[in-house]
Amino acid sequence: MKLVRFGPLGQERPGAIDADGQLRDLSQIVADIDATAVSPEGLAKLRSVDLKSLPVVHGKVRFGVPVGNVPNLVCIGLNYTDHAEETNAPIPKQPIIFNKHTGALCGPNDQVILPPGSRKLDWEVELAFVIGKTCWHVSEEEALDYVAGYTILNDISEREYQIEWEGQWTKGKSYPTFAPCGPWLVTSDEVADPQKLDLWLDLNGERVQTGTTIRMIFSIRTLVAYLSRFMRLVPGDIVTTGTPPGVGLGMKPNRFMKDGDVMKLGITGLGEQEQLLKAR
């Protein structure tokens, strides 16, 4: 299934994309695509529904974050061998974990805000996954059973705030609109192998990022098990898994975004996003 939330900001309704690519309204089935809906019981209920019996949503709509009321947004840094190489960073021996504030989440095609005084705003196409059931001290063998589905996240990063200012990476990652997510959540049963997906990002029509999840240092399975040693992951949590090469920080000279820039990005089978960058 491809699950979505659509409608104006703060008024999103649950929906699904049917086999013909039409948007169907799930409002009569569930109140929202949230922790309850992405649980094993919730997904079983949704799978039992004949989507063709539900109303078609016509016309252009806004897609929101595909999961509502996200408890936590957990991030993995430097998780592609070729991205670590381009930034001259050593290959991590263990996953690098940080957080983005959930207030950074926005719809996949919403405008991204350029903060006042920002000089080093960067792009990062990433594969993200959503937790479907409480996950604490699980093995790698069972780890994927805890993943409800997969989506796209653009890990927008202000590199000056992240790297040059004191403190943790979080301050460079958490400004409102710094986590465009979606357009939909593709349930795990429709992603045969999350380690065989292609990722790409264009800036103003120029391809700047091209990658594949084959080059991940730590697989989805490894990340779920590893994270569950240090925190209790809960339904609705989003984990975003790092970016392939081609970010502005890795270019020589560095290249960062400006007012009016447009990012377009996608992942195999998970759809596409497009964002216009506007100064606040």
Report whether 226 contacts 217 (CB < 8 A): no
Q: What percent of the chain has pLDDT over 70?
A: 100
What count of Cα atoms within 13 Å lies in the side-chain half-sphere of residue 84? 18
User: The tokens of 148 are what?
Assistant: 């409800």
Pairing of strands 112-114, 271-279: parallel
pLDDT in tens, 159-215: 999 999 988 899 999 999 999 999 999 999 999 999 999 999 999 999 999 999 999
How large is the average pLDDT for residues 38-52?
97
Q: How much is the pLDDT for 84?
A: 80
- Does the pLDDT value for residue 88 go beyond 90? no
**Residue (of 41, 53, 46) closest to 30 by Cα position:** 46
Beta bridge partners of 75: 98, 240
Q: How much is the pLDDT for 90?
A: 87
Distance (Å, rounded) from C-alpha 63 to C-alpha 213?
25
pLDDT in tens, 2-20: 999 999 999 999 999 999 9
Q: How much is the pLDDT for 13?
A: 98
Structural domains of the chain in order of their starting residue, each with its CATH number: 68-279 (3.90.850.10)
3-state DSSP helix/strand/coil percent for the chain, to nearest 5?
20, 30, 50
Distance (Å, rounded) from C-alpha 33 to C-alpha 4?
7
Q: How much is the pLDDT for 82?
A: 84
How large is the average pLDDT for residues 55-62?
97
Report whether 109 contacts 62 (CB < 8 A): yes
What count of Cα atoms within 13 Å lies in the side-chain half-sphere of residue 164? 10
Longest dimension (CA), the chain: 55
Distance (Å, rounded) from C-alpha 13 to C-alpha 139?
35
Distance (Å, rounded) from C-alpha 61 to C-alpha 274?
14
- Does the pLDDT value for residue 85 go beyond 90? no
Q: What percent of the chain has pLDDT over 90?
A: 95
Q: What angle do CA 95, 221, 76 make, to 5 degrees?
A: 30
The dihedral over CA atoms of 198, 222, 238, 210, expressed in degrees to the nearest 10, equals: -20
Distance (Å, rounded) from C-alpha 210 to C-alpha 191?
20
